[in-house]
Amino acid sequence: MASFLCPLASGSLGNALLVASGRTRVLVDIGLTQRRLKEALAAVGVEPGEIDAVFVTHTHRDHFSTSSAGFCLRHTIPVYASGENLAHLSDTLPAFRKLVRGGLARPMDGEAVEIGSVAVEGFDVPHDSPGWCQGFRVSLGPSRRRRSVAVATDLGHVPDDVLAWFVDATAVVIESNHDSEMLWASNRSADLIERIAGPEGHLSNEAAAEALAEIVGRSRRGRVKHVVLAHLSRDCNTPALALEAQAHLARGKAEPVRVFAARQFEPGPKIGL
Ligand SMILES: [Zn+2]
Ligand SMILES: [Zn+2]
Protein backbone atom coordinates (compact mmCIF):
# COMPACT_ATOMS: atom_id res chain seq x y z
CA MET A 1 0.00 0.00 0.00
CA ALA A 2 1.98 3.01 -1.23
CA SER A 3 -0.32 5.70 0.12
CA PHE A 4 -2.41 5.31 3.20
CA LEU A 5 -3.70 6.94 6.29
CA CYS A 6 -3.88 5.33 9.72
CA PRO A 7 -5.12 6.69 13.06
CA LEU A 8 -2.58 5.47 15.66
CA ALA A 9 -4.56 6.72 18.66
CA SER A 10 -7.52 9.04 19.03
CA GLY A 11 -9.17 10.53 22.12
CA SER A 12 -8.46 12.60 25.20
CA LEU A 13 -5.67 10.22 26.28
CA GLY A 14 -3.60 10.87 23.18
CA ASN A 15 -3.82 11.49 19.46
CA ALA A 16 -1.65 10.61 16.49
CA LEU A 17 -2.49 10.15 12.82
CA LEU A 18 -0.11 8.73 10.22
CA VAL A 19 -0.26 9.75 6.56
CA ALA A 20 2.00 7.95 4.07
CA SER A 21 2.52 8.81 0.42
CA GLY A 22 5.13 6.80 -1.50
CA ARG A 23 8.23 6.99 0.71
CA THR A 24 7.03 10.03 2.66
CA ARG A 25 5.59 9.61 6.14
CA VAL A 26 4.15 12.42 8.23
CA LEU A 27 2.30 12.44 11.53
CA VAL A 28 -0.45 14.81 12.61
CA ASP A 29 -0.09 15.19 16.41
CA ILE A 30 1.85 12.82 18.66
CA GLY A 31 0.30 13.17 22.11
CA LEU A 32 1.41 9.70 23.27
CA THR A 33 4.27 8.38 25.36
CA GLN A 34 7.30 7.47 23.26
CA ARG A 35 6.69 3.81 23.98
CA ARG A 36 3.03 3.88 22.91
CA LEU A 37 3.90 5.83 19.79
CA LYS A 38 6.64 3.40 18.84
CA GLU A 39 4.33 0.42 19.42
CA ALA A 40 1.53 1.97 17.37
CA LEU A 41 3.91 2.73 14.50
CA ALA A 42 5.29 -0.82 14.66
CA ALA A 43 1.73 -2.16 14.37
CA VAL A 44 1.53 -0.58 10.89
CA GLY A 45 5.12 -1.50 9.96
CA VAL A 46 6.71 1.96 10.33
CA GLU A 47 9.96 2.76 12.20
CA PRO A 48 10.31 6.11 14.03
CA GLY A 49 13.34 6.86 11.82
CA GLU A 50 11.08 6.83 8.74
CA ILE A 51 8.98 9.79 9.95
CA ASP A 52 9.76 12.90 7.88
CA ALA A 53 7.79 15.50 9.87
CA VAL A 54 5.22 16.05 12.60
CA PHE A 55 2.41 18.61 12.27
CA VAL A 56 0.82 19.85 15.50
CA THR A 57 -2.82 20.95 15.47
CA HIS A 58 -2.82 22.62 18.89
CA THR A 59 -1.17 22.85 22.27
CA HIS A 60 -3.37 20.57 24.41
CA ARG A 61 -1.22 17.82 25.90
CA ASP A 62 -3.21 15.00 24.29
CA HIS A 63 -1.77 16.30 20.98
CA PHE A 64 1.78 17.30 21.95
CA SER A 65 3.57 16.77 25.26
CA THR A 66 7.04 16.51 26.80
CA SER A 67 7.24 12.89 25.50
CA SER A 68 6.38 14.13 22.00
CA ALA A 69 9.28 16.60 22.14
CA GLY A 70 11.57 13.79 23.37
CA PHE A 71 10.49 11.55 20.48
CA CYS A 72 11.23 14.26 17.88
CA LEU A 73 14.60 15.05 19.48
CA ARG A 74 15.62 11.41 19.64
CA HIS A 75 14.75 10.77 15.98
CA THR A 76 15.62 14.27 14.64
CA ILE A 77 12.12 14.92 13.31
CA PRO A 78 11.09 18.50 12.44
CA VAL A 79 7.91 19.80 14.09
CA TYR A 80 5.64 22.17 12.16
CA ALA A 81 2.95 24.33 13.80
CA SER A 82 1.62 27.87 13.71
CA GLY A 83 3.99 30.50 15.15
CA GLU A 84 1.68 31.03 18.16
CA ASN A 85 1.61 27.32 18.92
CA LEU A 86 5.39 27.00 18.69
CA ALA A 87 5.76 29.97 21.05
CA HIS A 88 3.31 28.45 23.54
CA LEU A 89 4.99 25.02 23.43
CA SER A 90 8.36 26.67 23.90
CA ASP A 91 7.08 28.69 26.91
CA THR A 92 5.50 25.68 28.62
CA LEU A 93 7.64 22.63 27.72
CA PRO A 94 11.37 22.85 28.56
CA ALA A 95 12.00 19.84 26.26
CA PHE A 96 10.49 21.79 23.38
CA ARG A 97 13.15 24.51 23.75
CA LYS A 98 15.75 21.89 22.79
CA LEU A 99 13.86 21.34 19.52
CA VAL A 100 13.88 25.11 18.94
CA ARG A 101 17.64 25.28 19.60
CA GLY A 102 18.19 22.31 17.28
CA GLY A 103 16.34 24.05 14.43
CA LEU A 104 13.59 21.41 14.51
CA ALA A 105 10.68 23.74 15.42
CA ARG A 106 9.38 25.21 12.17
CA PRO A 107 6.60 27.78 11.83
CA MET A 108 3.87 27.35 9.22
CA ASP A 109 1.84 30.50 8.80
CA GLY A 110 0.05 30.61 5.47
CA GLU A 111 2.24 28.83 2.93
CA ALA A 112 1.89 25.10 2.21
CA VAL A 113 4.76 23.02 3.59
CA GLU A 114 6.16 20.53 1.06
CA ILE A 115 7.70 17.35 2.50
CA GLY A 116 8.70 14.67 -0.03
CA SER A 117 5.54 13.82 -1.94
CA VAL A 118 3.06 15.60 0.35
CA ALA A 119 2.05 19.23 0.77
CA VAL A 120 0.45 20.32 4.04
CA GLU A 121 -1.70 23.41 4.54
CA GLY A 122 -3.06 24.59 7.88
CA PHE A 123 -6.40 26.27 8.54
CA ASP A 124 -7.86 27.76 11.73
CA VAL A 125 -10.51 25.89 13.69
CA PRO A 126 -12.54 27.06 16.71
CA HIS A 127 -11.24 25.35 19.88
CA ASP A 128 -10.21 26.71 23.27
CA SER A 129 -6.49 25.83 23.28
CA PRO A 130 -3.82 28.40 24.11
CA GLY A 131 -2.23 29.56 20.87
CA TRP A 132 -4.05 28.88 17.64
CA CYS A 133 -5.88 25.61 16.91
CA GLN A 134 -5.48 24.34 13.38
CA GLY A 135 -6.73 21.65 11.06
CA PHE A 136 -4.61 20.38 8.17
CA ARG A 137 -5.16 19.41 4.58
CA VAL A 138 -2.50 16.97 3.41
CA SER A 139 -2.26 16.61 -0.38
CA LEU A 140 -0.58 13.54 -1.84
CA GLY A 141 0.83 12.41 -5.15
CA PRO A 142 1.37 14.11 -8.51
CA SER A 143 -0.85 17.10 -9.26
CA ARG A 144 -2.98 15.41 -11.94
CA ARG A 145 -4.06 12.62 -9.62
CA ARG A 146 -3.86 14.54 -6.40
CA ARG A 147 -5.62 13.00 -3.41
CA SER A 148 -5.97 14.61 -0.01
CA VAL A 149 -6.67 14.01 3.64
CA ALA A 150 -8.41 16.79 5.60
CA VAL A 151 -8.13 16.63 9.40
CA ALA A 152 -9.74 18.54 12.27
CA THR A 153 -9.88 16.59 15.51
CA ASP A 154 -10.82 19.15 18.16
CA LEU A 155 -13.35 21.81 17.22
CA GLY A 156 -16.42 23.28 18.87
CA HIS A 157 -18.35 23.94 15.68
CA VAL A 158 -17.73 23.87 11.93
CA PRO A 159 -17.85 27.31 10.35
CA ASP A 160 -18.28 27.60 6.60
CA ASP A 161 -14.63 28.42 5.93
CA VAL A 162 -13.60 25.24 7.78
CA LEU A 163 -16.12 23.16 5.78
CA ALA A 164 -14.53 24.44 2.58
CA TRP A 165 -11.20 22.79 3.48
CA PHE A 166 -12.94 19.38 3.56
CA VAL A 167 -14.77 19.58 0.25
CA ASP A 168 -13.44 17.03 -2.29
CA ALA A 169 -10.97 15.52 0.22
CA THR A 170 -10.40 11.80 -0.46
CA ALA A 171 -10.46 11.15 3.29
CA VAL A 172 -12.07 13.28 5.98
CA VAL A 173 -10.89 12.92 9.58
CA ILE A 174 -13.26 14.84 11.81
CA GLU A 175 -14.14 14.89 15.49
CA SER A 176 -17.25 13.04 16.66
CA ASN A 177 -16.66 13.59 20.36
CA HIS A 178 -19.89 12.94 22.23
CA ASP A 179 -23.48 11.90 22.17
CA SER A 180 -25.26 15.00 23.50
CA GLU A 181 -27.68 13.04 25.68
CA MET A 182 -24.85 11.06 27.28
CA LEU A 183 -22.85 14.25 27.84
CA TRP A 184 -25.68 16.10 29.61
CA ALA A 185 -26.57 12.98 31.67
CA SER A 186 -22.93 12.43 32.71
CA ASN A 187 -21.68 13.20 36.21
CA ARG A 188 -19.29 15.88 34.93
CA SER A 189 -19.56 19.38 36.39
CA ALA A 190 -21.95 21.79 34.67
CA ASP A 191 -19.01 24.05 33.78
CA LEU A 192 -17.13 21.23 32.08
CA ILE A 193 -20.22 20.08 30.17
CA GLU A 194 -20.81 23.63 28.96
CA ARG A 195 -17.19 23.95 27.89
CA ILE A 196 -17.30 20.66 25.92
CA ALA A 197 -20.66 21.45 24.29
CA GLY A 198 -19.74 25.10 23.65
CA PRO A 199 -18.69 26.66 20.33
CA GLU A 200 -14.97 26.32 21.17
CA GLY A 201 -15.20 22.88 22.77
CA HIS A 202 -15.78 19.55 21.06
CA LEU A 203 -18.04 18.38 18.23
CA SER A 204 -21.05 16.16 18.99
CA ASN A 205 -22.07 13.18 16.83
CA GLU A 206 -25.03 15.19 15.54
CA ALA A 207 -22.88 18.21 14.67
CA ALA A 208 -20.39 15.92 12.91
CA ALA A 209 -23.30 14.39 10.94
CA GLU A 210 -24.49 17.84 9.84
CA ALA A 211 -20.97 18.83 8.79
CA LEU A 212 -20.39 15.57 6.91
CA ALA A 213 -23.70 15.87 5.05
CA GLU A 214 -22.55 19.34 3.88
CA ILE A 215 -19.05 18.15 2.98
CA VAL A 216 -20.24 15.18 0.93
CA GLY A 217 -23.09 17.23 -0.58
CA ARG A 218 -20.72 19.97 -1.76
CA SER A 219 -18.07 17.54 -3.06
CA ARG A 220 -18.02 16.05 -6.53
CA ARG A 221 -19.82 12.70 -6.71
CA GLY A 222 -17.72 9.86 -5.31
CA ARG A 223 -14.85 12.17 -4.39
CA VAL A 224 -15.05 11.70 -0.60
CA LYS A 225 -14.28 8.00 -0.14
CA HIS A 226 -13.42 7.64 3.54
CA VAL A 227 -14.50 9.26 6.78
CA VAL A 228 -12.69 8.69 10.07
CA LEU A 229 -14.60 9.77 13.17
CA ALA A 230 -12.05 10.97 15.70
CA HIS A 231 -11.58 11.96 19.35
CA LEU A 232 -14.54 9.92 20.64
CA SER A 233 -15.22 10.44 24.34
CA ARG A 234 -14.89 7.21 26.33
CA ASP A 235 -17.56 8.24 28.87
CA CYS A 236 -20.04 10.10 26.68
CA ASN A 237 -19.94 8.20 23.39
CA THR A 238 -19.52 4.75 21.86
CA PRO A 239 -18.17 3.79 18.44
CA ALA A 240 -21.61 2.30 17.63
CA LEU A 241 -23.42 5.58 18.42
CA ALA A 242 -20.88 7.67 16.51
CA LEU A 243 -21.18 5.39 13.45
CA GLU A 244 -24.98 5.26 13.69
CA ALA A 245 -25.15 9.06 13.50
CA GLN A 246 -23.44 8.87 10.10
CA ALA A 247 -25.77 6.22 8.61
CA HIS A 248 -27.06 8.90 6.20
CA LEU A 249 -23.72 8.79 4.35
CA ALA A 250 -24.35 5.21 3.23
CA ARG A 251 -27.64 6.24 1.63
CA GLY A 252 -26.86 9.54 -0.07
CA LYS A 253 -24.66 9.21 -3.15
CA ALA A 254 -24.10 6.59 -5.83
CA GLU A 255 -20.76 5.52 -4.30
CA PRO A 256 -21.20 5.13 -0.56
CA VAL A 257 -18.64 6.63 1.78
CA ARG A 258 -16.82 4.22 4.09
CA VAL A 259 -17.00 5.40 7.69
CA PHE A 260 -14.69 4.28 10.52
CA ALA A 261 -14.47 5.18 14.20
CA ALA A 262 -10.88 5.71 15.42
CA ARG A 263 -10.03 4.13 18.79
CA GLN A 264 -8.01 5.30 21.76
CA PHE A 265 -5.93 2.18 22.28
CA GLU A 266 -6.04 0.31 18.95
CA PRO A 267 -4.17 1.66 15.91
CA GLY A 268 -6.06 1.37 12.65
CA PRO A 269 -7.64 0.92 10.28
CA LYS A 270 -4.99 1.37 7.59
CA ILE A 271 -6.92 3.07 4.81
CA GLY A 272 -5.49 3.00 1.27
CA LEU A 273 -5.63 6.32 -0.59
ZN1 LIG B 1 -7.75 16.67 22.07
ZN1 LIG C 1 -7.96 20.10 22.39
Beta-strand ranges (E) seen in the chain are 3-9, 16-21, 24-30, 53-55, 79-81, 105-107, 113-115, 118-124, 134-140, 147-152, 171-175, 226-230, 258-261, 271-272
Contact present, 125 and 110 (Cβ < 8 Å)? no
Instruction: Quote the ligand 1 centre to 251 CA distance (angstroms).
Output: 30
Give residue 90 CA to ligand 2 midpoint distance, Å. 18
The pLDDT value given to residue 1: 65
User: pLDDT by residue (tens digit) across 170-190?
Assistant: 999 999 999 999 999 999 999
**Nearest-ligand number for the alpha carbon of 133:** 2
Using the predicted structure, report yes or no on whether residue 223 has a pLDDT greater than 80. yes
C-beta separation of 74 from 139 below 8 A: no
How many CB atoms lie under 10 A from the CB of residue 107?
15
Nearest to 195 by CA among 113, 108, 128, 106: 128
For 75, the enclosing helix (H) or strand (E) is helix 66-75
CA distance 226 to 100: 36
Q: Which of 43-47, 162-166, 227-231, 247-251 is least confident?
A: 247-251
Ligand with smallest separation from the Cα of 155: 2
Confirm whether pTM is higher than 0.75. yes
Give the Å distance between the CA of 46 and the centre of ligand 1.
24
Q: Which ligand is nearest to the CA of 134?
A: 2
pLDDT, mean over the chain: 95
**Domain 1-111 fold:** Metallo-beta-lactamase; Chain A (3.60.15)
Q: Residue 29 Cα, ligand 1 centroid: separation in angstroms? A: 10
254 alpha carbon – ligand 1 mean position (Å) = 34
State the distance from the centre of ligand 2 to the C-alpha of 141, rounded, in angstroms: 30
Taking each helix axis from N to C terminus, what angle separates 94-101 and 66-75, rounded to the nearest 10 degrees? 30
Delimit the domains of the chain by residue range: 1-111, 155-263
Which one, of 101, 54, 110, lies nearest residue 79 by Cα? Answer: 54
Which ligand is in closest contact with the Cα of 17? 1
